[in-house]
Amino acid sequence: MKNKDPKLSDSIQFIKGVGPARAADFIKLEINTVNDILFTFPRRISDRSQIISVNESKKFFGKDVSLQVVGISVNKSKRGKKEITTVIFGDDTGTIAGVWFNATWIEEQFIGREVIIFGKLQYRNGQMQITHPKVEFCDEGKENVSVGKIVPVYPLTGNLNQGAWLRIMKNVLAQYLPLLDEFYPEDFLQKRQLMSRQDAVRNMHFPDNIHAADMAKQRLIYDECLLMQLGILFTRHQDDCKQIGRSFKITRVIDERVRAILPFKLTNGQETAVAEIIEDMKSPKEMHRLLQGDVGSGKTAVAFYITLCAVANKTQVVIMAPTELLARQHEQTFTKFLSRSSKSKVRIALLTGGMKKSVRQVRLASISSGSVDIIISTHATLQEDVHFADLGLIIIDEQHKFGVSQRAALKLKGNHSDVLVMTATPIPRSLALTVYGDLDISTIKGSPPGRKKVKTMTPDSNKWRKIWDFLRKEFNMGRQAYIVSPLVEENENLDLHSAIEAYEALRKGEFSSFNVGLLHGKMKRKEQDEVMRQFREGKIDALVSTVVIEVGVDIPNATIMVVLHADRFGLAQLHQLRGRVSRGSNLGYCILMTDSKNTEAKKRLQILVESNDGFRIAEEDLAIRGEGEFLGTKQHGRGFKLTNLVTDFEILKTARDDALKILKSDPELKHKSHQAIKKELINQHGHQLIIAGSG
Ligand code: ADP
Ligand code: MG
């Protein structure tokens, strides 16, 4: 096919060497255009450039090596149905065997010839060997394709083998690489020490050397980060410029009135957060802010303060919590605070999924008529028939339990509402810039006075006698405990103690002279409420539960948290659970039981023993489990091809700053020098940008 006007958007069939059959193979790999194939990088790079002697290779067992050797002898033998061919190769320093299975094609061709062999070095029966080595003759005139070079290893499918990939990639680069636009001016490339875009793509496929391969990757990671940051910030920036949000009036009088209702003085950390949030609420920009604070740092009080400020501005406020338990607890806390002022006319309503239809209808009517001010709710508030009279402020508690789309859905029910999302799982810095990159962040530092630290330990499960003994002593001193299991019911496939099982066993056995309660999400709401009430009132000594109590539950007299099969939980989640027993002024205990023999799992739990710092724990959790698992299924990250959020954090940060600078100087990316990157931005994030553009 003659191609007079080659473009990166050309179908792969335009590439020399790609016919319909090959094209079909590529399409299976989701490679449709030239641009796709240019940016489909090898799975790994195999360094065959360092040729070493047989003797030197001894240092590289288990690794790939390239050796320049001469074929000495060939021997064929049988093992079962397999025919084994062994060729002994050697140089001045020693010998090594090449071993092939069922390789009838090998006869005497290597004998007496100088070759380069490449493959993973093994040691078998007193002999160094490589199984199925790649072999190339040194004395042949034609250019070697792979041996003795740094070679890319591509994903395979159909009839697409490495050899074909290599040849096709060579053609792609020759034909199309010159069409690839540079994003940045020369002086910027120098300043950031970035390889040019064309060099980077070329070196990703065929690196000149290992250093160049690394530089190429760095450059493209920077591009990924910058494009993502521009994508996130562009939309926000445009909204901000429009100044279409609400300007709340928060006067001295309002401030003093609200503070008078609070039963305590805000901590310095709370004050700082309040000041930042209030600043946003006063400004005509829409607020999109995340409030993070370690468990027990007092986010609810901050939420209460700003809620009353918004209500004083005659708008409604909705607070959405991930569980009914938590929603009801918030309602109780708010009601308790409000009852401290005899003059308060603030009306508060609970809206949850478990309400009777008739009650719900009445609630919905008062919400839509504006006769309630504060609506405390679960995701029930997202339902279609929920309408607000005038929703000015949205607060989402434990936001990591919700998806991004749920946040957006709630926002649609408001009218340029300000949004505050709160989380007790500290957001690792890299996620703050990416998954949460469209939010401003406030952090509550420190916790309310008088907090004692929680003593954490990770005993083996067979130490249970001692543990239950300890719990009985604590019960006798009036303390209470949570005992958390990863499962509700017995599970035949897993040898785990379910909450119900543990409850039955403890109630009848070790804790028979104490009151044991059971709580899990499958219980009726009324029963759950009743159990929580009894626990709150101290009538239950040990509450056996699933992770329904993970977030938010606030019962200061409960000082012991026992987690069964702790290795089944993520670190951030365990830290949350531990947060349940750091509430009061008594020393708390967190006992993470495990019978895992896995040393990695134990090392992980050890991090909790050593650290009480939610930020450190979240970073470790992210590093161990990766972005996908850390965020859970509810949240989806924004896919990166090359960037690793943990190891490439520095590049990400630089790209964030650069993106901010670019948008500050050129908010709509109109400058000539920004056209290449703008084009790519529209390519990748076009959908979002159009939404922003159309208001
Ligand atoms: P979280 O940040 O985990 O949601 P909460 O808002 O539930 O924390 O607060 C934890 C506990 O600390 C609650 O019992 C709350 O009443 C108390 N608290 C919050 N702020 C203060 C403060 N400034 N002074 C004293 N106690 C406070
Ligand atoms: Mg909370």
CA–centroid distance, 72 to ligand 1, in Å, is 79
Burial class (CB in 10 A: 0-12, 13-18, 19+), 441: middle
Q: For the CA atoms of 499, 501, 504, 508, what is the dihedral angle to 10 degrees?
A: -120
Domain end call among 577, 611, 645: 611
Point out the ligand 1 atom lying closest to the alpha carbon of residue 293.
2
- The model's pTM is 0.71
Q: How far apart are CA 346 and CA 375, in angstroms?
A: 11
Q: What is the mean pLDDT of residues 256-273?
A: 95
Residue from 259, 264, 291, 306 to probe ligand 1 pocket by mutation (most atoms less than 8 Å from CB): 264
From residue 131, how far is each of 73, 98, 110, 452 by CA, in Å?
16, 6, 16, 61
Determine the Cα angle at 614 with ends 545 and 268, to 5°. Answer: 110
262 and 405 assigned to the same domain: yes
Tokens 């609400």 belong to residue:
246
Distance 292 CA to ligand 1 centre (A): 13
Query: Which of 378, 400, 423 is where one domain is finished?
Result: 423
- 481: domain CATH number is 3.40.50.300
Give the CA count within 13 Å in the CB-facing half-sphere of 543: 33
pLDDT tens string 300-313: 999 999 999 999 99
Please tell me whether residues 95 and 116 are part of one structural domain. yes
The Cβ of residue 64 has, within 10 Å, a number of other Cβ atoms equal to 15
Q: Is the dihedral of CA 112, 115, 119, 122 positive or negative?
A: positive
Nearest-5° Cα angle at 694, 690 to 695: 120
Q: How far is the CA of 423 from the centre of ligand 2 (A)?
A: 8
Q: Which residues contact 365 (CB under 8 A, 6 or more apart)?
A: none
CB-ligand 1 contact for 264 (6 Å cutoff): yes
Q: How far is ligand 1, taken at its centre, from the CA of residue 246, in Å?
A: 29
Radius of gyration of the chain (CA): 32
> Which ligand is located closest to the Cα atom of residue 259?
1
Q: Is 417 in the pocket of ligand 1 (CB under 6 A)?
A: no
Higher confidence at residue 573 or residue 160?
573
**Backbone torsions φ then ψ of 346, nearest 5 degrees:** -70, 130
* Residue 612 CA, ligand 1 centroid: distance in Å: 17
Stretch 617-625: mean pLDDT: 84
Q: How far is CA 75 from CA 85, 92, 96, 107, 111, in A?
A: 6, 22, 14, 9, 11
As a whole number of angstroms, the distance between CA 482 and CA 646 comes to 34
Angle of helix 599-610 relative to helix 571-579, nearest 10 degrees, comes to 40
Interval between CA 489 and ligand 1 midpoint (Å): 33
Any ligand 1 atom below 6 A from CB of 67: no
Quickly list H helices, 243-314: 252-261, 268-282, 299-312
Residue at token pair 């929920």: 386
Residue 208 lies in a domain: no
Asked if residue 346 and residue 471 are part of one domain, the reply reads no
Amino acid 447: pLDDT = 85
661 domain-assigned: no
Mean pLDDT of the 432-459 span: 85
Q: Which ligand is nearest to the CA of 299?
A: 1
What is the pLDDT, as a whole number, of residue 576? 86
Same-domain status, 543 and 565: yes
Indicate the number of domains in the chain: 4
Predicted local distance difference test score (pLDDT) of residue 421: 93
DSSP state of 58: G
Is the confidence at residue 632, as pLDDT, over 70?
no
The reply to whether ligand 1 has any atom less than 6 angstroms from the CB of 133 is: no
pLDDT (tens digit per residue) in 581-611: 877 677 899 999 988 888 888 888 999 999 9
Residue 3 has pLDDT above 80, yes or no: no
136 and 174 share one domain = no
pLDDT tens track for 136-156: 777 654 455 555 577 787 877
Q: What is the pLDDT of residue 151?
A: 76
Q: What whole-number distance in Å separates Cα of residue 235 and Cα of residue 693?
A: 8
Q: Whose CA is nearest to atom 27 of ligand 1?
A: 448
Query: Is the pLDDT at 2 greater than 60, yes or no?
Result: no
446 lines ligand 1 (CB under 6 A): no
How far apart are alpha carbons 257 and 254 in whole angstroms?
A: 5
Atom of ligand 1 nearest to the CA of 270: 23
- 694 pLDDT above the threshold of 50: no
**Residue 141, domain CATH:** 2.40.50.140
Please tell me whether residues 319 and 461 are part of one structural domain.
no
Q: What is the pLDDT of residue 383?
A: 92
The verdict on residue 58 lying in a domain is yes
Residues 468, 555, single domain; the answer is yes
**Are both 325 and 418 inside the same structural domain?**
yes
Q: 108 and 72 in contact (C-beta within 8 Å)?
A: no
pLDDT in tens, 76-96: 998 888 899 999 999 989 999
Does the residue 569 lie in any domain?
yes
Amino acid identity, position 617: I
| Helices 210-242, 675-693: inter-axial angle, 10-degree rounding | 40
Residue 209 lies in a domain: no
d(CA 465, CA 463): 6
Question: Residue 131 sits in which domain range?
Answer: 50-148
Return the number of other C-beta atoms located less than 10 Å from residue 421's C-beta. 22
pLDDT, mean of residues 272-289: 94
Query: Which residue lies with its CA nearest to atom 26 of ligand 1?
Result: 448
Cα of 123 from ligand 2 centre, angstroms: 58
Share of the chain above pLDDT 70, in %: 92
Q: How far is 46 from 69, CA to CA, in rounded Å?
A: 20
Q: Residue 17 — left, alpha, or beta (φ > 0 → left; ψ -120 to 50 → alpha)?
A: left
Q: Which atom of ligand 1 is nearest to 265's Cα?
A: 23
Tell me which of 44 and 673 has the higher pLDDT: 673
Q: Please check the confidence at residue 254 and state whether its pLDDT lies above 50.
A: yes
Q: Binning pLDDT at 50, 70 and 90, where does residue 271 land? A: very high
Residue 635: pLDDT band with limits 50, 70, 90: very low
Q: Does residue 480 share a domain with residue 602? A: yes
The confidence band for 120, taking pLDDT boundaries of 50, 70 and 90, is very high
Using the predicted structure, report yes or no on whether residue 644 has a pLDDT greater than 90: no
pLDDT of residue 392: 96
Same domain, 86 and 157: no
User: What pLDDT digit, counting tens, does each position of 7-23 carry?
Assistant: 999 999 989 888 888 89
The CB of 293 under 6 Å from ligand 1? The reply is yes
Q: In this predicted structure, what is the pLDDT of residue 687?
A: 56
Joined together, the tokens standing for residue 321 give 């919590």
Tell how strand 588-592 and strand 454-457 pair up. Answer: parallel
Number of the ligand closest to the Cα of 399: 2
Could you give phi then psi for residue 537, rounded to 5 degrees?
Answer: -85, 5
pLDDT at position 499, please?
87
Question: Taking Cα atoms as reference points, which of 326, 285, 275 lies closest to residue 305?
Answer: 275
User: What is the arithmetic mean of pLDDT over 328-344?
Assistant: 90
Ligand 1, atom 9: nearest CA belongs to which residue? Answer: 298
Residues 28 and 83 in one domain: no
Domain for residue 365, yes or no?
A: yes
Confidence class for position 551, pLDDT limits 50, 70, 90:
low
Tell whether 690 is covered by a domain: no
Q: Is the CB of 329 under 6 A from ligand 1?
A: no
Ligand 1, atom 10: closest residue by C-alpha:
296
- The reported pLDDT for the residue numbered 639 is 59
Q: How far, in Å, from the CA of 613 to the mean position of ligand 2?
A: 17
Q: What is the mean pLDDT of the chain?
A: 87
233-242, 269-278, 379-388: the lowest-pLDDT one? 233-242
In a domain, 195, yes or no: no
pLDDT for 293 beyond 80? yes
Measured from the CB, is residue 428 less than 6 Å from ligand 1?
no
Among candidate residues 399, 438, 463, the one with its CA nearest the CA of residue 634: 399
Three-state DSSP at 567 gives helix
Distance in Å from the first CA to the final CA of the chain: 45
**Among candidate residues 377, 402, 423, the one where a domain is terminated:** 423
Q: Over 80: is that where the pLDDT of 629 sits?
A: no
Residue 481 or 497, more confident? 481
User: In 317-348, which positions are buried (b, 16+ CB within 10 angstroms) versus exposed (e)?
Assistant: bbbbbbbbbbbbbbbebbeebbeeeeeeebeb
CA of 398 to the centre of ligand 2 (A): 7
What pLDDT is attached to residue 450? 75
Q: Which residue in 95, 118, 119, 98 sits closest to 109, CA to CA?
A: 98
631: left (phi over 0), alpha (psi -120 to 50) or beta: alpha
pLDDT number for residue 135: 85
Question: Does the C-beta of 297 come closer than 6 Å to ligand 1?
Answer: yes
Helix (H) or strand (E) holding 170: helix 162-176
Q: Which residue has the higher pLDDT, 100 or 149?
A: 100
Q: Are residues 262 and 346 in the same domain?
A: yes
